[in-house]
Structure 1
Amino acid sequence: MRIHKRDKARRRMLALLLAGVLAVTGASVLTVAAFAGQRQPPAQPAATRMGTVACGDVGSLLDQVPAAAQPAVDRDLADLDVQVADAYRSLMAPGAGGGEQRVMDALVAKRTTTLRNLKASAGPDAGLPGDLTGLASCGIRRDLVVDASARDYAPDAQAGSSGSSGPSGPAALSKGSGNRGSGLGRGFVDIRTVSPNVAKPARTGSATGTFTSQCGRNENRHLNPDNVIVAPGVSNGAHHMHDYVGNLITDAFSANNRLARAGTTCSNGDQSAYYWPVLRLLNGVTEKDAKAPGGGQDSNVGRILQPADVQITYNSAAGNKVQPMTRFLRIITGDAKALTNGPANAHASWSCTGFENRQLADKYPICPNGSRVVRTLKFPDCWDGKNIDSANHRTHTAFSQANGSCPKNFRAIPQLVERVAYDVPTGVRFAVDSFPEQLHNPVTDHGDFINVMNRNLLDQMVSCINEGRRCG
């Protein structure tokens, strides 16, 4: 069973996060009435002040779900994502400004039905509240805006406007002075204007080695809009396109035994599945998925950029001895809904080659000529030692604490770091694929990993790291 109890502090944090979705007052938000007859004051027309749809992230609230119920719960969670995406598209349609209340009333009605089904499937220990009204309600966040003149170019979205980001955390990495007249949009910053902000990790132990899997850069163009971790068995469960390296058959229907029998792009026989959202050039050139799910149907437009370089590396962030991961362990990093959820789980950053001591979280970098755009995804490095997954796909793993230690009852495992670089033409905008309502904001970048290494490779990885050797 995928079970992991969350402590009270985390539950309080998630309750606050849910409340924050609807906490913005005044003209910035249209809050949906959760019961019949209550109407909200008319909002500004969408053409005047576009925003996005924000709903509570139900998946993040789940404590435990019996294994037999997980497929039904996953389908219901996927349906909730579809409902939000459909509502956002309806609001963005021409002439939708006067129909906002109708769209949002329909959304809350659909969410209410789906949530009831989900709660019945998940059972009494799932962690969902008795009254589902708050989870069913959604808002239009007018503080998260894309200019109407560039609605398909999400880098113009106001970065760092999630409403819950403060001076600390990942969003605080972005310290620059805007686009400096580049014409690329407010979501871009010249990397040369960013002060160095990456401190060298204090390694307290002797486990200073690294293990690398050379898995190519998706030369075989393995692309799909599925997510077998978060939405197994659901086609287009991600609503954005993923780049894959490693396991050759990863899609929504890849059961563990299929993954174990598949080939790999990794030269060392690593059959693990590594995937992340694609990056697209916004230069007016269409991609073959322009009218397909995960592509144009989900507001992801532009030519998909093949990575110029992909590095898959494992290490020990603090130099502490690590233990092997179990086979088929699932780990995610980042938050695909961080624009509306806030940056608490945002762990991706952006930079340029030659400037990687300067990292951005909520803006895209403008790189000098000859410099590549770089995405860095760091994964949790602590594991509960029992579960290959958890109901919310997070609480069975954790990041090590400031002193390098793991939380109580967790063990240190190798930390996966993915570094993906791109050749972006000078002066051309680009954006990461995202759920439609997340506006392609860079803070939503994320990565997924399923460990399908055999025992010999896992033991080799641990030995290399713990003995201070560089392998791969």
Structure 2
Amino acid sequence: MEDRLGEVPAQAQAEVQRNLQQLETQIAEANRRLASSAGEGGANFVQNAILGPLRDKRAAALQRIQIAFQRTGAQAPAGLQGLATCTVQDDGTGNDNGDQGNGDQNNGDQNTGDQNNGDQNTGDQNNGDQNTGDQNNNGDQNTGDQNNGDQNTGDQNNNGDQNTGNQNNGNQNNGGATGQITCPAVADRLNQIPARAQAEVQRNLQLLETQLAEANRRLASSAGQGGANFVQNAILGPLRDKRVATLQRIQIAFQRAGAQAPAGLQTLATCELRNPGGGGNNGNDGNNGNDGNDGGDGNNGNDGGDGNDGGDGEQARGPVPEDFVDIRTVRPNVNVARTGRNGSRGTFSVDCGRNERRIFNSDNVIVAPGVSNGAQHTHDYVGNVSTNNQSTNESLLAAGTTCRNGDKSTHYWPVIRALGQQEFDANQRGGGLDLNVGKILTPAQVQITFKGNPTAKVVAAPQFLRIITGNARVGGADPNAGWTCTGFENRELTDKYPLCPRGSRLVRVFNFQSCWDGQNIDSANHRTHVTFPQADGSCPQGFQPIPALEHRLVYNVPQGPNFAVDGFPEELHKPITDHSDFINLMNQQQMQQVVNCINSGRRCR
């Protein structure tokens, strides 16, 4: 692979190396699955369950390598997508299965020009993470690369907790009557299609029909094949991945025509197997993927019980009781590095209010600029009053602020909701239409504090620096949620919500990355230009300490497991997806005040 890349630009090195390593990891995992599945499936098992998904993952990784080159202004290496398809060398085990041409998988999803630009234009809106792919890398979500290596895409989106085991039985075993795969309708969600987008949209709508027809043909021809998860792994999982890419291209077609992309298309990616006769599939309708936990289609039986009703007729997909824990049962676990002789001990606090003005939107200008509802969940905003998907550095500088010292920086995070109560956005994108339901709670306190570094003096952070801490995707890179309760702040949780005793209030703590690469105000994945200090508090080589931002948010929440953080609909409101965002708009004089205060050991406001 490396010999096809030529000279890698310095700014692209880290991202390229990460994806080269991911390619190695993918092939190793595929070989492990090949060995463990010997003797399973029919004539096309290896192609459908291993090689096809592997190709899709490789296509995504190769796509990200191309994008890494392009973002530095360099020409992307030619022909990388031709390296996506792998083959099995027949070693006599019977696992070759012949069909190595990848005909089923190479359906246009990965090799179009639209796909190359899709990752750059949409970022986290899938995700991804954006990303998020992967809030993490602007493209993982388009091919399933982010959705668990085994292609159990339905499992990943339902996270197991919500389905209480149903996902892995019934419709996964194609041992009897074949049933039929059905998918959510897409055309009726598009409204008016711009004239410039008509041809591309119609092409992809037709492709969705072709993909579904092909999946049903494979379902019929594979009756009686495979093990417990054959249908999910070999048919439904790959089908969902193809639909994700196709729906992505439809969104991009709207955006290229200057129109607003239709909301919620990615929630239509997951299809399900319906088998009215029940033979071999146990009638497990509705448990597969995004639609299974809807609570409103009457097909889900067991699924609805774990959700919390938002009061608007839509069932909130999560959280579940297992997502909560009594904070009194958690042992102290917060460790703070001691500040040494050369460290910086001061603090600088900024009062920007508690979002009393109720400034909300479901955009994310850092990871999805120009994309309406790019976050698919609602953010609280303090500081800059104008922040939305259309914001530019210039527009932010021209806007007002809620910060008393005149700092125009932007601070935003997902809202917390009291479940079972109504809110203004119950029928809006980012709210109820994206399964974020319940009454939005205004924080009782918002504390924004800049701190020093335990081992060194801090330097000024650049204007327009962007930092995201935490990850909106379950399994994404660098989760950094911090959940605790007043009176118990020597213990924090990342993957559980704390249940606070009476008299104690819920606290969210976000400690932002405070080591800067000295050059960039952002990076391709919005992460590599900043990082966290090492265990001793020092910054890694090549990074320098900047004022360490902390958001501390305090809430009065209902007693019991009756609150949740907003998130992407498929992330089930898991507490680990909590995150916060910052854009530095301080001018040079304001930033220097912060630096001087911290380095001189004072406490300033």
How big is the shift at 1:17? 7.9
Which structure's relative contact order is higher, taking Cα pairs within 8 Å and 6+ residues apart? 1
Q: Does 1:409 align with 2:563?
A: no
Q: Report the equivalent of 2:450.
A: 314
Q: Report the equivalent of 2:368.
A: 231
Report the more deviating stretch, 421-430 or 218-227. 421-430
Contact 1:191 1:352 in 2 (8 A): yes
Corresponding residue to 1:250 among 378, 382, 387: 387
How big is the shift at 1:436? 1.1
Contact 2:240 2:271 in 1 (8 A): no
Q: 1:19 to 1:469 in 2, by over 3 A?
A: farther
CA distance in 1, matches of 2:451, 2:465: 17
Contact 1:242 1:275 in 2 (8 A): yes
Equivalent residues in 2 for 1:256-295, closer than 5 Å: 256-282=393-419, 284-295=420-431
Q: Report the equivalent of 1:155.
A: 319
Corresponding residue to 1:325 among 461, 478, 481: 461
- CA deviations on 1:239-261 (whole Å, 9 max, x unpaired) are 11111100000011110000001
Corresponding residue to 2:378 among 241, 250, 263: 241
Where in structure 2 are there 5+ consecutive unaligned residues?
Answer: 1-8, 35-43, 51-56, 75-115, 129-140, 145-152, 172-179, 183-231, 252-268, 273-286, 294-301, 308-315
Contact 1:236 1:293 in 2 (8 A): yes
Q: 1:106 to 1:286 in 2, by over 3 A?
A: farther
CA distance in 1, matches of 2:425, 2:121: 24
CA distance in 1, matches of 2:127, 2:324: 28
Q: 1:313 to 1:78 in 2, by over 3 A?
A: closer
Corresponding residue to 1:430 among 544, 563, 569: 563
Q: 1:462 to 1:13 in 2, by over 3 A?
A: farther
Q: 1:143 to 1:295 in 2, by over 3 A?
A: closer
Contact 2:125 2:368 in 1 (8 A): no
Say which SS state the counterpart of residue 443 (structure 1) adopts: helix
Q: 1:214 to 1:80 in 2, by over 3 A?
A: closer
Contact 2:270 2:289 in 1 (8 A): no
Say which SS state the counterpart of residue 192 (structure 1) adopts: helix
Contact 2:15 2:68 in 1 (8 A): no
Say which SS state the counterpart of residue 322 (structure 2) adopts: coil
CA distance in 1, matches of 2:335, 2:584: 29
Report the more deviating stretch, 367-376 or 400-409. 400-409
CA distance in 2, matches of 1:448, 1:9: 26
Larger radius of gyration: 2
- CA deviations on 1:28-74 (whole Å, 9 max, x unpaired) are xxxxxxx9995569xxxxxxxxxxxx999979876454378998644
Q: Report the equivalent of 1:439.
A: 572
Q: Does 1:420 align with 2:553?
A: yes
TM-score normalised by length of structure 2 = 0.58
CA distance in 2, matches of 1:443, 1:56: 28
Q: Does 1:75 align with 2:121?
A: yes
Q: Report the equivalent of 2:113.
A: none
CA distance in 1, matches of 2:27, 2:504: 42
- CA deviations on 1:347-370 (whole Å, 9 max, x unpaired) are 121000010001111100000112
- CA deviations on 1:248-285 (whole Å, 9 max, x unpaired) are 00011110000001110000111000001111111x21
Higher strand share: 1
CA distance in 2, matches of 1:463, 1:376: 25
Contact 2:376 2:569 in 1 (8 A): yes
Say which SS state the counterpart of residue 14 (structure 2) adopts: coil
CA distance in 2, matches of 1:221, 1:17: 45
Q: 1:254 to 1:117 in 2, by over 3 A?
A: same
Report the more deviating stretch, 210-219 or 290-299. 290-299
CA distance in 2, matches of 1:20, 1:291: 45
Q: Report the equivalent of 1:121.
A: none
- CA deviations on 1:323-367 (whole Å, 9 max, x unpaired) are 001100101111111x133xx401121000010001111100000
Q: Does 1:379 align with 2:384?
A: no
2:14 counterpart letter in structure 1: R
- CA deviations on 1:89-127 (whole Å, 9 max, x unpaired) are 9x88x9996648676444322445689999xxxxxxxxx
How big is the shift at 1:378? 0.8
2:462 counterpart letter in structure 1: T
Corresponding residue to 2:475 among 331, 337, 340: 340
Q: Report the equivalent of 1:463.
A: 596
How big is the shift at 1:449? 0.5
CA distance in 2, matches of 1:75, 1:421: 35
Contact 1:78 1:234 in 2 (8 A): no
User: RMSD in angstroms over aligned alpha carbons?
Assistant: 4.4
CA distance in 1, matches of 2:452, 2:64: 27
- CA deviations on 1:361-411 (whole Å, 9 max, x unpaired) are 110000011211000011111111111111111111111112222222211
Q: 1:195 to 1:139 in 2, by over 3 A?
A: farther
Q: Does 1:207 align with 2:353?
A: no
CA distance in 1, matches of 2:480, 2:338: 19
Q: Does 1:358 align with 2:491?
A: yes
Report the more deviating stretch, 252-261 or 313-322. 313-322
Corresponding residue to 1:296 among 416, 432, 435: 432
Say which SS state the counterpart of residue 155 (structure 1) adopts: coil
2:347 counterpart letter in structure 1: T
How big is the shift at 1:287? 1.3
Corresponding residue to 2:14 among 6, 30, 49: 6
Contact 1:431 1:440 in 2 (8 A): yes
CA distance in 2, matches of 1:194, 1:457: 40
Contact 2:385 2:400 in 1 (8 A): yes
How big is the shift at 1:233? 0.3
Say which SS state the counterpart of residue 412 (structure 2) adopts: strand
Higher helix share: 2
How big is the shift at 1:16? 7.6
Say which SS state the counterpart of residue 186 (structure 1) adopts: helix
Q: 1:201 to 1:78 in 2, by over 3 A?
A: closer
How big is the shift at 1:464? 0.6
Q: 1:320 to 1:150 in 2, by over 3 A?
A: same
Say which SS state the counterpart of residue 311 (structure 1) adopts: strand
CA distance in 2, matches of 1:2, 1:329: 20
How big is the shift at 1:81? 3.9
Q: How many residues align?
A: 400
2:440 counterpart letter in structure 1: I
Q: Does 1:400 align with 2:533?
A: yes
CA distance in 2, matches of 1:194, 1:251: 38
Q: Does 1:66 align with 2:71?
A: yes
Q: Report the equivalent of 1:195.
A: 331
Identical positions, percent: 44
How big is the shift at 1:139? 12
TM-score normalised by length of structure 1 = 0.73
Report the more deviating stretch, 250-259 or 399-408. 399-408
Contact 2:68 2:524 in 1 (8 A): yes
Contact 1:400 1:407 in 2 (8 A): yes
Q: Report the equivalent of 1:45.
A: none
